[in-house]
Amino acid sequence: MATQSVEEHYSQGGLLDRIRTGLAALGATEPLEIDLLAPVDEFHIGGRLATEPLIAALDLGPASKVIDLGCGLGGPARFTAHATGAQVTGIDLTPEFVDTGTALTAMAGLSDKVTLTQGSILDLPFNAASFDAAYMIHVGMNIADKARLISETRRVLRPGGRFAIYDVMLTSDEPLEYPLPWASAPDQNAISAPGAYRAELTAAGFQPISETDRTDFAKDFFARVAASQAAAAGPPPLGLHLVMGANTAAKVGNMVANIRADRIAPVEMIWQKPFS
């Protein structure tokens, strides 16, 4: 899958200005509260409600060094640093996400704990055994070469390091409805079944800890979001519409329809690099 195609799907232009406008509408002051940013910088099913249990499974502390693979705007990275005290390094392919996320990190007063870098997670610019833990949230759907992704993650993890994955995964052979939040068309979609992840993780030498299908959680989350939107006069000052653009409703609607039709499902996996 061409990286340019993925970048074009995500980059809208003017993102930081739109977020600043939303913050001003809310009367926000610096340092920004990370909870205030969560509606726009937790770009995945369930938002913060999904991030919290995933990060908790990594058992982090102030001495931990963590890599966020495909960090987007850095919302989970800032949450992780704030909640655990860990040092978090994020890497993402889209320059606008990295630039915007770096600015938001400074506005939240977390630049000493969170560093965001532009680059490919298929060729990580870090030394071997640099991190105590790794996580990836709604990223694998854009990565066709999951073997390379997983081997690079294993390389930069220290022995015993945990790798947490929260991706949307394929659960049927039926065609999907487009556009989706991560793909405007089929040629941008590298979604895989859970079994494909397990096979590549096992081949790379990782050991399984847990796996959770989050379909019921997703359906409940979307039902609550729909009810909230129905009661509101319009979109909130901060929300994922600022990231996804004018066709946000179509992207989210198709994702929800695909989940309800059991074509796809959000799945959480925790694996571990062996100690020896």
Give the residue among 100, 205, 140, 142 at the shortest CA–CA distance from 4. 142
- Rounded average pLDDT over 71-82: 98
- Rounded average pLDDT over 248-259: 94
Q: Which residues pair with 134 in a beta bridge?
A: 67, 163
- Rounded average pLDDT over 213-241: 90
In the predicted structure, residue 108 carries a pLDDT above the cut 80:
yes
In the predicted structure, residue 1 carries a pLDDT above the cut 60:
no
DSSP for residue 183 = B
Decide: 67 and 126 in contact? Cβ < 8 Å: yes
- Rounded average pLDDT over 248-269: 95
pLDDT band at 46 (very low <50, low <70, confident <90, very high): very high
In the predicted structure, residue 143 carries a pLDDT above the cut 80:
yes
d(CA 210, CA 188): 29
CA angle 87, 69, 259 (to 5 degrees): 125
d(CA 246, CA 202): 40
Q: Is 138 helix (H, G, I), strand (E, B) or coil?
A: coil
In the predicted structure, residue 114 carries a pLDDT above the cut 90:
yes
Q: Name 38's Cβ contacts closer than 8 Å, sequence gap at least 6.
A: 47, 48, 75, 79
- Rounded average pLDDT over 125-133: 98
d(CA 77, CA 104): 11
- Rounded average pLDDT over 154-173: 98
How high does pLDDT run on average in the chain? 95
Ramachandran bin of 138, using left for φ above 0, alpha for ψ from -120 to 50, beta for the remaining angles: left
For the structural domain made of 3-272, what CATH number should be given? 3.40.50.150
The pLDDT value given to residue 232: 81
Q: What distance lies between CA 128 and its chain's CA centroid?
A: 23
The pLDDT value given to residue 33: 96
The pLDDT value given to residue 168: 98
Q: Would you state the structure tokens that stand for residue 155, as one six-digit string?
A: 């390389």
The pLDDT value given to residue 47: 96
Give the residue among 122, 130, 119, 63 at the shortest CA–CA distance from 94. 119
The pLDDT tens digits for 168-211 are: 999 999 999 999 999 999 999 999 999 999 999 999 999 999 99
Decide: 185 and 179 in contact? Cβ < 8 Å: yes
In the predicted structure, residue 2 carries a pLDDT above the cut 60:
no
CA distances from 273 to 174, 175, 210, 276 (A): 34, 35, 14, 8
The pLDDT value given to residue 11: 66
Q: Is the torsion defined by CA of 52, 274, 155, 60 positive or negative?
A: positive
CA distances from 241 to 12, 54, 60 (A): 11, 24, 32
